[in-house]
Amino acid sequence: MKKENKSLWLKSGPNIWLLLIILFFYLPIIYVVIFSFNSTKSLTHFTGFSLQWYEKMFNDRKMLEPIYYTVLVAVIATVVSTVIGTITSIGLSKQKKLVRELVLQVNDLPVMNPDIVTAIGMMLFFVSLNIETSLITLLIAHITFCIPFVILSIMPKLRTLDDNVAEAALDLGATPFQALTKVIIPQIKPAILSGALIAFSMSFDDFVISFFTTGTGVSNISIYVYSMSKRINPTINALSSLIVVVVTTVLIVANVIPLIRARRPQTEVVKKKSKYSFVPYLAAALAFTVFLVSFGSRTTGEFDPIAEFGSNTLNIFNYGEYVGEDVIAEFEDMYNVKVNYDTFASNEEMYTKLMSGASYDVIIASDYMIQKIIKDGMVQKLDKDVLTNLTDLYADALKYMEFDSEMLYAVPYLWGNVGIIYDSTLVDAEDVESLGWDVFLLEKYRGMVYFYDSERDSFMVALKALGYSMNTKNEQELLEAYNWLIKMDNAVDPAYVTDEIIDGIINGEKALGYVYSGDATYMIYENENLSFYVPHQGTNIWMDCMIIPSNAKSPDLANFFINYMLSYDVSYAKSEYVGYTSPNEEVLIALSSEDGEYYGIDAYIPRVGYEEDEVFVNDDNIRKIISEYWVKVKLN
Convert the pLDDT of each residue in 250-261 to its tens digit. 778 767 777 777
Work out the average pLDDT over 433-456: 94
pLDDT, residue 531, reads 96
pLDDT, residue 184, reads 81
Contact partners, residue 39, CB within 8 Å, separation at least 6: 47, 48, 49, 50, 52
Band (pLDDT 50/70/90 cuts) for residue 366 is very high
Domains of the chain in start order, with CATH, are: 2-56 (no CATH), 58-257 (1.10.3720.10), 305-414+544-592 (3.40.190.10), 415-542+600-608+619-635 (3.40.190.10)
Residues of the chain above pLDDT 90, percent: 42
3 state DSSP class of 239 = helix
pLDDT, residue 229, reads 63
Q: Are the CB atoms for 544 and 367 separated by under 8 Å? A: yes
Q: Is the pLDDT of residue 269 over 90?
A: no
pLDDT, residue 28, reads 82
More confident residue, 491 or 278: 491
Q: How many residues does the chain have?
A: 636
pLDDT, residue 278, reads 46
Give the C-alpha distances (Å, rounded to integers) separating 315 from 126, 259, 311. 20, 50, 11
pLDDT, residue 18, reads 74
Q: Is the pLDDT of residue 286 over 70?
A: no
Convert the pLDDT of each residue in 289-327 to its tens digit. 555 555 554 444 566 777 677 788 899 999 877 888 789
Q: Is the pLDDT of residue 5 over 60?
A: no
pLDDT, residue 301, reads 52
Q: What is the mean pLDDT of the chain?
A: 85
Give the C-alpha distances (Å, rounded to integers) separating 337 from 302, 315, 331, 488. 11, 11, 8, 52
Convert the pLDDT of each residue in 392-434 to its tens digit. 899 888 888 988 989 999 999 999 999 999 999 999 999 999 9
Q: Is the pLDDT of residue 612 over 90?
A: yes
Convert the pLDDT of each residue in 530-559 to its tens digit. 999 999 999 999 999 999 999 999 999 999
**Distance in angstroms (rounded) separating the CA atoms of residues 461 and 457:** 6
Q: Is the pLDDT of residue 277 over 70?
A: no
- Region for residue 472 given its phi and psi (left: phi exceeds 0; alpha: psi -120 to 50; beta: otherwise): beta
More confident residue, 2 or 376: 376
Convert the pLDDT of each residue in 123-141 to its tens digit. 888 888 888 888 899 999 9
Work out the average pLDDT over 190-217: 89
In 386-511, DSSP assigns E strands to 410-423, 450-452, 495-497
Q: What is the 3-state secondary structure (H, E, C) of 290-338?
A: HHHHHHHCCCCCCCCHHHHHCCCEEEEEEECCCCCCCHHHHHHHHHCCE
Closest C-alpha among 306, 305, 307 to residue 331: 305
Identity of the amino acid at 55: E
Convert the pLDDT of each residue in 462-491 to its tens digit. 999 999 999 999 999 999 999 999 999 999
Q: Is the pLDDT of residue 37 over 60?
A: yes
**Contacts of range 111-120, beta carbons closer than 8 Å, 24 or more positions apart:** 111/148, 111/149, 111/152, 115/206, 115/208, 115/209, 116/208, 118/145, 118/209, 119/208, 119/209, 119/211, 119/212, 119/213, 120/212
Work out the average pLDDT over 592-609: 90
| Pairing of the two strands 541-549 and 379-380 | antiparallel
Q: Are the CB atoms for 533 and 419 separated by under 8 Å? A: yes
Taking each continuous run of H as one helix and of E as one strand, the counts in the chain are: 27, 10
Band (pLDDT 50/70/90 cuts) for residue 276 is very low
